[in-house]
Amino acid sequence: MKSVALHNRLTSLLLKSITLLLFFAFSLSSYSQDVDEARQKEGRKLFKSLCASCHKLDKKLIGPALGGVEDRRENDWLKSWIKDNAALRSSGDSDANAIFDEYNGASMTAFPQLTDQNIDDILYYTTVGDPVKKGAAVVTEAGQKSNESPKWLIYILAAAIIVAFLIIASLLKTISELKGAPKTPGAIASLNEVWEGFKQNTFLKVMCTIFILLMGAYVVFGTLFKVGVDQDYMPLQEIAFSHKIHAGDNKIDCQYCHSSAKHSKTSGIPTANVCMNCHKNISEVAEDTKVEWDGMTYGKAELDKEIAKIYDAVGWDADNLEYTGNTKPIKWVRVHNLPDFVYFNHSQHVTVAGVACQKCHGPVEEMDEMYQYSPLTMGWCIDCHKATKVDVKGNEYYTKIHEQLAKKYNVEQVTIAQLGGKECGKCHY
Amino acid sequence: MASNKKYWQSVEELKGSSIVETLSKKEFVEEIPTDDFLGDKETLENSSTSRRDFLKYVGFTTAAASLAACEGPVRKAIPYVVKPNDVTPGVADWYATSMADGYDFANVLVKTREGRPIQIMPNKDANGTTSARVQAAVLSLYDEKLRLQEPSKGGATITWSDADKEIAAKLNELKEANKPVVLLTGTMASPSTSKIVEEFIAAYPNISHVVYDAVSESGAADAMLAMYGKRTLPNYHLDKAKTIVSFGADFLGDFHGGFEKQYIAGRKPETGDMSYHIQFESNMSLTGANSDKRLVLKPSDQVFALLNLYNIITGSNVPSKTTSVDADVNAAAKSLQKAGAKGVVLTGLNDKNAQLVALAINKALNSEIIDVNNTLNVRQGNDTEVAQLVSDMKSGKVAGLISYNVNPIYSLSNSSDFSEGLKKVELSVALSIENNETVDASTFALPTPHFLESWGDTQFDQVTYGLMQPTIQPLFNTRQIQDVLLKWTGNSVSYYEYLKGFALTNVLNGASWNTALHNGFHKKEILEVEETTVSDIVISDVASQLLKSTKASAFELNLYTKTGLGDGKQANNPWLQEFPDPLTRASWDNYLTMSIADARALGFANPVKDNGAINGDYAKVSVNGKELVVPVMVQPGQAKGSVGLALGYGRTFGLKDEMKVGVNAYTLYTNGNNIQYNVSIEKVSGTHKFACTQVQKTIAGRHDILKVATLKEYNSSADPKHSWNKPAFVSYDHNEVEASTINIWDEHNREIGHHFNLSIDLTSCTGCGACVVACHAENNVPVVGKNEVRVGRDMHWLRIDRYYSSEVETREEAKELGLSRGDTYRALETEAENPEVTFQPMMCQHCNHAPCETVCPVAATSHGRQGQNQMAYNRCVGTRYCANNCPYRVRRFNWFNYSNNNEFDFNMNNEYGKMVLNPDVVVRSRGVMEKCSMCIQMTQVTILKAKREGRAVDTDEFETACSSACTTGAMVFGDVNNEKDQVATLAKDKRAYHVLDYLQTKPNVVYQVKVRNTNEA
């Protein structure tokens, strides 16, 4: 066992050092291509904040693709266009007016605040593109692999050791028997002896019966109580939507998409138009994005197709950048299903109580594929209601009732249950 | 003295029938037939299912069920593609709009969830009110069975554009030939539509517009035209009235659209004064049941009494006849004269002359109550023009007929003439929301939207301009009549644009369109009503004409509309069919109401069967050579020599089988006259099975349920605790002690947090039943159908009990009075001829010391700190112990699955009907007990809203469905721990009492003693 772990650690170390070496070699080689990292970084920052909502490097968005734009236009022309394109157009510049007409008279925002240096940085970025970071990706991948492997390996090895031990034991026994040693009473015979003794001991029999019945009852109850409890339920969705990318990596607030959680009983599944707030501009994932989906690893090729599914649903023509009007609803599979006879209100928990979404839904920001984190049983609800103190500060609704109840129960802060959150009719009607 | 009265629910109970007594002791009237089956060896042996088979089935189903339970179904969640801005899933939106379906008119608020209207409530800012029918209209929207879905020609579907082309061509052809075309509509009360119709007629001068109301009030409008020069209905400000004398005017029902709110506003005992209301009528109506003095009088006598009253008031001597109630007429006249301008006389006789006499009396009184300036537009039908149209059609003079939401083939008494005429017209177009006989007989059937899918405007009186806006995308391929007419006129503008322009230029006067639309109404700032000129009418001529048309006869028929179905437009609405009539408590039927004396003479009876249901005999009614076989319901308070029959029933075309109930009384509705003379009645064979909720729920002789006082008693200085609102006393330790001093339950502190109470003012409750339907809509209460109601399995969480009363309490008491056996019966029956009626809404009382909670073996029903008796359906195993232990009989058991079950093919069995379900309340399944939850889903929403906004709950912010639907403010809901809430004061009022207070169940529903103004005059 120990040796295996040691071996593992050794391998990972070895792998890491090799990849690290590779990485340095690679980056050194790429750096040798005259890329001014500082300028690229500055330019990228400016581009992302000012230009990216309408332009991409390699693709037409609201405005034209800007990759290698310096090869196509004069630097001075670009500067005057960026600073004030309207002035350039009114000065009668034919190129400016042509591009204006090409994009159906959609005028670009003027950026008089940019200095020449800024613009040069942006243009530099459009020429050299994004910094390459393939090496880093290898490192993380390798690291992950080395961390994941032991679990099943350990089980197999343990099983093998036990089998081996048994074989050795039986071999040893046979050898000694062959050597002429007297036959010791076998394990079976000694078991028989124990059984005879057991049969005569009434007390032991009664105790065992009770024990077996209790165990049986425990198992049966345990099984029955799990009926209808769908904890860890992870249905396959129509679109490989990763909460990890959205809520985790990009840190989008839960309620940006689930906006009715603060107003309504339902948290609301975001409608496709909410997706389009961002995905109008984001038609593809970054190069190295990976999502674990239905037992497979989805890369850029697969994930871009998933984004296209939103376009399909909302009727967005990604080539001509316009809505076609042909919409069809997305059929998500409900992960969290409460029975009809339970009333649950998100806004009570989210807005009034200020409960974090993760408290019930788990580490959603780490989930590629969404699953039911909590059991959603009544016991689970009640346990929380019993334990949680009501946050009454700053809410005038509670002022009077809390004062009275705190006095009644002789506590500083009442729990939800003491406030009536354990009554049947509060959730069942 | 109020407490001397015996309250009884049926004639059978009054007679002391042993069946009723037996039934009253049982909560579930039907025995479960286990003994029948298991006790009979033969049936057991003949049964095709052997014991082994049975065990196999049990084993298999248990195994299958547990296997199936192991894996939950995969549920899809499908969001909008593009979410509408004003929709937050899970949050209700409210829209202000107006209802106008030709018979019911109301300014309403509509609750929508994810774009589906699910409830209609009154728009109280616009002074709107809702009735049971207005409340139920939301379900008619989803009536996929009856509604027209596609335009068609001769039964084959066509497109709208083809229909437009063909019809416009034909219209132009008829215009060239100058052949008359008639546009036949019901009352629309829409100014912009009137303008569109005018423009349509201007474009096609050969078209004339005829307004036809199935249930006519043409007489009143004609009388207004004759006397005041405008054909509208007078308005009545009953809130300011001191004396109201009504001759058969059911003004709490459908008379001029109803005056419930105003009437009750003038009857608040806490002001120390109430209007005095005398009702002369033949049928027992809701209005009569609420009156202070009710005089039974057959229709012809009502005419004579009206003329006698005129003679007394004006001192003139127009010809009349004496009646049996002349002394009472005298007294009424005195009271009216005393009230002077605060007195008013109304008559429900649909006869121009009778209406003229009433107008003349009001003029003589100088009445301020009747308003002939700010008049009502809700009934514009013109019987004369309709009669003319039918005869013209029959003689082939009409070349084209465009009908809109009317069904003359069903609702005309001479419908065969109409059908015959319809075959002779060259162009017949039916614009209709529903598929009915008339639509079927027309060439073109063009679907129009429900009012919840429509734009529009309304003008019910002259001051309030209402707007109608769609609350849902049209469900079917419909187009509004306004758009259709604009198109045919050649106007390319959409009706929405037209309406907006119309409102901005003609009504809003600089006010914002968006504000008006948001509010649903716009009050015209200046009363633009011109003072009407009074033309002199010679009343003696009117009177002699009236006398000539009044043919007093042995039997007279008074046709009326029921609270549930009205004119029958919503006959396919299961909520309304199941709605029990406030007076007879019968659902799913119409019937001939007959007085007890007549019934005895002719041999009619309503025996109570051992399963608690009521049967009836059939009568053949003959009027003007027309015959109808109708079941008879013996009705206390019906005038001897008169019978009543409700319109609106007996529809069959296009209806679901379950809804094809009752008989079509329109066949007897000759000339739109609600009174038909020379009626003969003959008993015919057969037994009718009524679905009555009347007998099943007697109160087992516990007469501490209802308390009634007179205004004089109320105003006296005597302590109510010792006079008219006595608390219960019980025997304890051989002493009589006040019940509230002892209790078998432990007391809890109820002063922390909210504590909800519902106060029900029996003085203000008219029994209209809007709350019953509101409760259906809010709580997904299932409809169970006629057969189930018949055996007492109705699911109404909220019912309105109706109690009759008589002065002699029991036969034992009669014996004590020394009455002989014959005298006893006579004494009892004399009272029963005209009993006092009291309505009492009854629902779960949410007892703080609840007997039901004590007996539940699984603790499925328990008490919340906020006072609600909570019911956890998922915990209930259906022992029904709770229902048996409930002294109020308000728990309803789910005998079946009422959803997704073809045996109960009502709204919960189809995709459209299910759209009306409230997503915040679970649909209960078979085998569980359910009951009023005090709308816990609504109180929770209110609390949550306050919490989210970080504030305390506002005064009177809590509501239940019934309290918000209540037109008269009889039901008030709130938090008694908030001193500012109205209910906190009401719970301590001197009129407040608890039902069955000797049980000390400490209910959270408080009733206010009914006060009648009987001492006057």
**A425: exposed, middle or buried (C-beta count within 10 Å: 0-12, 13-18, 19+)?**
buried
Average pLDDT over residues B644-659: 93
What is residue B828's predicted lDDT score, i.e. its pLDDT? Answer: 57
DSSP state of A315: T
What is residue A184's predicted lDDT score, i.e. its pLDDT? Answer: 59
Mutation for testing the B interface, residue in A274, A331, A429 having most B CBs under 10 Å:
A429
What is residue B811's predicted lDDT score, i.e. its pLDDT? Answer: 59
Q: Is the pLDDT of residue B817 over 80?
A: no
Mapping DSSP to helix (H, G, I), strand (E, B) and coil, where does residue A178 land? helix
Residue A237 sits at the chain B interface (C-beta within 8 Å): no
What is residue A205's predicted lDDT score, i.e. its pLDDT? Answer: 87
Between residues B439 and A36, the one the model is more confident about: B439
**Is A429 within 8 Å of B752 when comparing Cβ atoms?**
no
Q: Is the pLDDT of residue B693 over 60?
A: yes
**Is B78 within 8 Å of A404 when comparing Cβ atoms?**
no
What is residue B620's predicted lDDT score, i.e. its pLDDT? Answer: 95
Q: Is the pLDDT of residue B178 over 80?
A: yes
Minimum mean pLDDT range among A22-26, B479-483, B698-702, B741-745: B698-702
As a whole number of angstroms, the distance between CA A188 and CA A190 comes to 5
Q: Mind listing the pLDDT tens digit for each residue in B553-566?
A: 999 999 999 999 99
Average pLDDT over residues B79-87: 89
Rounded to the nearest 10°, the torsion over CA B530, B531, B532, B535 is -150
Question: Which residues numbered 294-333 in A keep a CB inside 8 Å of some CB on B?
Answer: 313-315, 327-333
Between residues B243 and A187, the one the model is more confident about: B243
Mapping DSSP to helix (H, G, I), strand (E, B) and coil, where does residue A357 land? helix
Average pLDDT over residues B668-696: 88
Q: Mind listing the pLDDT tens digit for each residue in B588-643?
A: 999 999 998 999 999 998 888 877 788 999 999 999 889 999 999 998 889 999 99
**Amino acid, single-letter form, for residue B99:** M
The gap from C-alpha B266 to its chain's centroid, in whole angstroms, comes to 22
What is residue B803's predicted lDDT score, i.e. its pLDDT? Answer: 85
Q: Is the pLDDT of residue B807 over 70?
A: no
**Is A426 within 8 Å of B940 when comparing Cβ atoms?**
yes
Residue A195 sits at the chain B interface (C-beta within 8 Å): no
pTM above 0.90, yes or no: no
What is residue A31's predicted lDDT score, i.e. its pLDDT? Answer: 46
**Is B922 within 8 Å of A341 when comparing Cβ atoms?**
yes
As a whole number of angstroms, the distance between CA B1016 and CA B376 comes to 31
Average pLDDT over residues B790-807: 87
For residue B866, give how far its alpha carbon lies from the nearest alpha carbon of chain A (Å).
9
Between residues B107 and B22, the one the model is more confident about: B107
What is residue A37's predicted lDDT score, i.e. its pLDDT? Answer: 82
List CB contacts of B72: < 8 A, sequence separation 6 or more: A228, A230, A337
List CB contacts of B216: < 8 A, sequence separation 6 or more: B350, B379, B381, B383, B672
What is residue A199's predicted lDDT score, i.e. its pLDDT? Answer: 81
**Amino acid, single-letter form, for residue B123:** N
- Percentage of chain B beyond pLDDT 70 is 90
The H-or-E segment that residue B374 falls in is strand B370-376
DSSP state of A335: S
What is residue B835's predicted lDDT score, i.e. its pLDDT? Answer: 83
Q: How far apart are the first and last CA of chain B?
A: 18
Six-digit token pair at B347?
Answer: 């008559």
Average pLDDT over residues B101-111: 94
Q: Is the pLDDT of residue A201 over 70?
A: yes
Helices (H) and strands (E) in chain B, counts: 34, 43
Rounded to the nearest 10°, the torsion over CA B698, B836, B288, B309 is 170
Chain B contact set for A429 (CB, 8 A)? 870-871, 921-922, 933, 936-937
Q: Mind listing the pLDDT tens digit for each residue in A61-91?
A: 778 888 888 888 888 888 888 888 888 888 8
What is residue B470's predicted lDDT score, i.e. its pLDDT? Answer: 95
Between residues B10 and B645, the one the model is more confident about: B645
Q: Mind listing the pLDDT tens digit for each residue in B424-479?
A: 999 999 999 999 999 999 999 999 999 999 999 999 988 899 999 999 999 999 99
Average pLDDT over residues B819-831: 63
In this structure, are strands B427-432 and B400-404 parallel, antiparallel, or unpaired? parallel
Q: Mind listing the pLDDT tens digit for each residue in B886-938?
A: 999 899 999 999 999 999 999 999 999 999 999 999 999 999 999 999 999 99
Closest residue of chain B to A335, computed from CA coordinates: B75
What is residue B698's predicted lDDT score, i.e. its pLDDT? Answer: 38
Q: Mind listing the pLDDT tens digit for each residue in B827-876?
A: 654 556 788 888 999 999 999 999 999 999 999 999 999 999 999 999 99
What is residue A396's predicted lDDT score, i.e. its pLDDT? Answer: 92
Chain A contact set for B87 (CB, 8 A)? none
What is residue A105's predicted lDDT score, i.e. its pLDDT? Answer: 75
User: Do residues B249 and B347 touch, judged by C-beta distance below 8 A?
Assistant: yes
Six-digit token pair at B362?
Answer: 């009001």
**A7 pLDDT tier (thresholds 50, 70, 90):** very low
The rounded mean pLDDT for chain A is 82
**Is B81 within 8 Å of A405 when comparing Cβ atoms?**
no
What is residue B331's predicted lDDT score, i.e. its pLDDT? Answer: 93
What is residue A266's predicted lDDT score, i.e. its pLDDT? Answer: 92
The rounded mean pLDDT for chain B is 89
User: Interface pTM (ipTM) of the complex?
Assistant: 0.84
What is residue B45's predicted lDDT score, i.e. its pLDDT? Answer: 65
Task: Among A341, A345, A423, select the one facing B874 at the smallest CB separation.
Answer: A341
**B72 pLDDT tier (thresholds 50, 70, 90):** low
Chain B contact set for A340 (CB, 8 A)? 922-923
- Percentage of chain B beyond pLDDT 90 is 71
Mapping DSSP to helix (H, G, I), strand (E, B) and coil, where does residue A157 land? helix
**Is B72 within 8 Å of A404 when comparing Cβ atoms?**
no
DSSP state of B31: P
Closest residue of chain A to B921, computed from CA coordinates: A429
As a whole number of angstroms, the distance between CA B920 and CA B119 comes to 13
DSSP bridge pairs for B760: B971, B1007
Six-digit token pair at B180?
Answer: 């008359």
User: B569-580: buried (b, 16+ CB within 10 Å) or exposed (e) per residue?
Assistant: bbbbbbbbbbbb
What is residue B700's predicted lDDT score, i.e. its pLDDT? Answer: 38
Six-digit token pair at B400?
Answer: 């084209």
Mapping DSSP to helix (H, G, I), strand (E, B) and coil, where does residue B134 land? helix
Minimum mean pLDDT range among A365-369, B19-23, B1008-1012: B19-23
Q: Is B1000 left (phi over 0), alpha (psi -120 to 50) or beta?
A: left
For residue B865, give how far its alpha carbon lies from the nearest alpha carbon of chain A (Å).
7
